[in-house]
Amino acid sequence: MASLKLSHIYKVYENGHKAVNDFNIDIEDKEFIVFVGPSGCGKSTTLRMIAGLEDITAGDLFIGDTLVNDMEPKDRDIAMVFQSYALYPHMTVFENMAFGLRNRHLPEAEIKQKVLEAAKMLDIEDYLDRKPKAMSGGQRQRVALGRALVRDPKVFLLDEPLSNLDAKLRAQMRTEITKLHKKLQTTFIYVTHDQVEAMTMGTRIVVMKLGYVQQIDTPMNLYNKPYNKFVAGFIGTPQMNFFDVTLNRKGSKVEVNFIDGSKIDLPYDLLSKIHDNYLHGDKKVIFGLRPEHFEVSKKATGLTATITAVEHLGNECIIYGDLGKNDEEFTMADTGRAVIVKTVEGEPFNVGDTINLAVMPEKVHLFDGETEVTLMQDIPDFSRFEGEIKGGQLSIFGSKEKLPPYLAEKLPQQGKVDVEIPPSAIVAGNDYSLKVHEIENIGDKKLAYLEYGDRFLFAFVGKGVKVGDKYSFSLLKDKLQFNNGEEVLLEPVGEDIAFDGKFTKEERKENHERVLHFFYNINGVAFEAPVAHGYKMNAVEGNACYKNTYRYVLNRNDLSLEENGLAGVVKKVVDYGNKTYALVDFNGQEVLINNDDQLEEGMEIKVGLNAEKVGVYSIDIDMKIC
């Protein structure tokens, strides 16, 4: 039994191929985690790094509380089951299962007991004297599982264990492995390219693509709330339908315009979290709907399809078609109009027929046409509203407030501005007041829909706030973004700051011993780095770590004035009203630091950084090294 933690794990193979990028997950004890994704996406590489069969290029791997990056596979207390079974052909099933235990010099009686127990659990007691070649694929896979089981490991790692089996046996073994997991109450990590396997077995699933994690979630959340088009398309059979559309809001309705000219309406209520700029008909949006979320309707629905093929499966029927009337030659090519509909058997559907398709509105998915990321996140990253600047004041939400000095300086003297307001920028206060239309519980947070005009401003509120209340609030100006159309006028202040610098080492004699010290060297000022970081830099970069330039990233709060620190000159004081910062020039590197110390323009200062909190990034290959 054990938890696992993968923190910023990367794998770069010797040929320079970056197979795994910034993999992060906390796996709880007893979870059944599935890594799924198309071939080559980095699933096996990640599993093999956990097993210790592959070096970790960068990042930390913990099993329980122990950092195991450099621990031998045999000491990690894990067991791995492969697709290829990897049984010894000359040994009996019993011997195969006992082999690992014999190596550990367990008493014979205990070995026998463990093997018999596992064999019973896997229903292979009658085959203990057989050799693997006299067994079926399914039986051999059970022996492979048994060999892992007898070791009583903390973690089971399974790499496509069922892909050599036929469909029926695979389905059966799926349920057996799930049962085994329940019985053993141990952490399982299971790799597969088969989304059905992933969905039926995993308590949580990690969907990967080209070395990057796309989403980590429960099967139901992956199905209902896919983060992007890739996940949406990967999970579910037949695949989700995707169409290029534009959206146009008309009061309480949003018109969806398909490329074949068809239009349907969706209620605005379902789409109120989508940014307003997607609702003016001029931005490409991807409309996604699963085949099971269309209904074939007798009445006109605004959406028609011409049937190109029909599959009858007995209880259900899969209809393949093209959106619109059949006015073109039949083509198998992806025209952007192809549609798949899953419906119950009943009516006779024939190739060439035109059918009306009704959409289940609450099942619709919408993705950005460029980034392919969902437009329907549970918590909108920001709400966008128009404000107006006049006479040094900002008018927004029907109230006015004086612009703090930095905003007055950076923004136009007058005119309209678009303000992007993340929920975290809204705090209880006295500047504005809006009615609470709805409150949604998301995890341990309360997301309030504050009504303004015909749209909502999304804010986190405390327990006491109720629907129908007037909520009074202020805006944290340093967290807002101001735009003029597409042009960014002022960006929000981010959490992190970065310095570019070198990595250096020094050997010192201490108590007659040579001791190595490592440093982050920025503009010639050396900050002592944790020794562990020194070893990591060496392990990842070799001797090149003393030549390359690195990016040192830290939270603004982990920087403070210090006598022997890095020298800089305050270029200006940046006053956001709620908070002031100092823009400091550190020999050409400009950084915005906190200004709790009342710095003034022109002051020469020195800052120290909390070296324990520094993240080191390789600039060449975009990788967090430590």
Among 41, 98, 157, 389, binds ligand ADP (CB under 6 A): 41
Among 5, 40, 194, 363, binds ligand ADP (CB under 6 A): 40
Integer Cα distance of 61 and 8 in angstroms: 9
Q: Give the tokens for residue 288.
A: 């996604």
Here's the x/- map for ligand ADP, 103-122, by CB under 6 A: it reads as --------------------
Task: State yes or no: residue 337 binds ligand ADP (CB under 6 A).
Answer: no
Contacts of 424 (CB under 8 A, 6+ apart): 460, 476, 479
Determine the interface stretch with ligand ADP among 13-21, 148-156, 402-410, 421-429 (rule: CB under 6 A).
13-21
Binds ligand ADP (CB under 6 A): choice among 1, 17, 263, 360: 17
User: According to the binding rule CB under 6 A, does residue 57 interact with ligand ADP?
Assistant: no
| Part of the chain binding ligand ADP (CB under 6 A), chosen from 39-47, 298-306, 446-454, 598-606 | 39-47
Residue-wise burial string across 528-565, b where 16 or more C-beta atoms lie within 10 A, e elsewhere: ebeeebbebbbbbbeeebeeeebebbbeeeebeeeeeb
Shortest separation between residue 349's beta carbon and ligand ADP, angstroms = 38
The alpha-helical segments, DSSP class H, found in 18-107 are 43-51, 93-103
- Phi first, then psi, for residue 420 (nearest 5°) are -100, 120
Q: Which is nearer to ligand ADP, 43 or 365 (CB)?
A: 43
50 binds ligand ADP (CB under 6 A): no
- Report if residue 22 touches ligand ADP, rule: CB under 6 A: no
Query: What is the closest distance, in whole angstroms, from the C-beta atom of residue 86 to ligand ADP in the complex?
Result: 17
154 in contact with ligand ADP (CB under 6 A): no
Beta carbon of residue 207, minimum distance to ligand ADP (angstroms, whole number): 11
How far out from the chain centre does Cα 166 lie?
Answer: 33
229 Cβ contact partners less than 8 Å away, ≥ 6 residues apart: 242, 286, 288, 367, 372
Q: Considering the complex, what minimum distance in angstroms separates the CB of residue 57 from ligand ADP?
A: 12
When binding is defined by CB under 6 A, the residue of 6, 9, 27, 42 that contacts ligand ADP is: 42
Cβ nearer to ligand ADP, comparing 41 with 240: 41
Examine residue 13 and tell whether it contacts ligand ADP (CB under 6 A).
yes
Regarding 44 and contact with ligand ADP (CB under 6 A), the answer is yes
Distance CA 158, CA 205 (A): 14
Phi, psi of 141 (to 5 degrees): -65, -30
Choose the stretch contacting ligand ADP; rule: CB under 6 A; options: 14-22, 182-190, 325-333, 359-367.
14-22
d(CA 200, CA 32): 11
Strands (E), 178-279: 187-192, 204-209, 212-217, 241-250, 253-258, 263-267
Q: How far is the CB of 200 from ligand ADP (least distance, A)?
A: 19
Secondary structure letter of residue 97 according to DSSP: H
- Report, in Å, the least distance between residue 9 CB and ligand ADP: 12
214 binds ligand ADP (CB under 6 A): no
Sort 330 into a burial class: Cβ within 10 Å, 0-12 / 13-18 / 19+: exposed
Distance of CA 103 to the CA centre of its chain: 41
- For ligand ADP, the closer of residues 49 and 305 by Cβ is 49
Distance set, CA 233 to CA 305, 419, 518 (Å): 21, 34, 47
Stretch that binds ligand ADP, among 33-41, 137-145, 474-482, 527-535 (CB under 6 A): 33-41
Cβ proximity of 102 and 111 under 8 Å: yes
Toward ligand ADP, which CB reaches closer, 13 or 330?
13
State the minimum distance, in angstroms, from the CB of residue 162 to ligand ADP: 15
- Whether 418 and 482 have beta carbons less than 8 Å apart is answered as yes
- Judged by CB, which is closer to ligand ADP: 41, or 319? 41
15 binds ligand ADP (CB under 6 A): yes
- Degrees to nearest 5, angle at CA 437 with 436 and 438: 100
Under rule CB under 6 A, residue 163 binds ligand ADP = no
Q: Cβ closer to ligand ADP: 21 or 262?
A: 21
Q: Interface with ligand ADP includes 198 (CB under 6 A)?
A: no
Is residue 43 near ligand ADP by the rule CB under 6 A?
yes
Closest to ligand ADP by CB, 48 or 365: 48
Q: Which CB sits closer to ligand ADP, 209 or 446? A: 209
Q: Which of 589, 476, 466 is nearest to 523 (CA)?
A: 589
Q: Cα(31)–Cα(49) distance, rounded to whole angstroms?
A: 19
For 34, 153, 184, 191, the CA distances from 187, given in Å and listed in that order, are: 11, 9, 9, 13
Question: Cβ(562)–Cβ(608) under 8 Å?
Answer: yes
In this structure, the chain runs to a length of: 626
Residue 19 makes contact with ligand ADP by CB under 6 A? yes
Would you count residue 45 as binding ligand ADP (CB under 6 A)? yes
User: Of 160 and 322, which CB lies nearer to ligand ADP in the complex structure?
Assistant: 160
Q: What is the contact surface with ligand ADP in residues (CB under 6 A)?
A: 13, 15, 17, 19, 37, 39-45
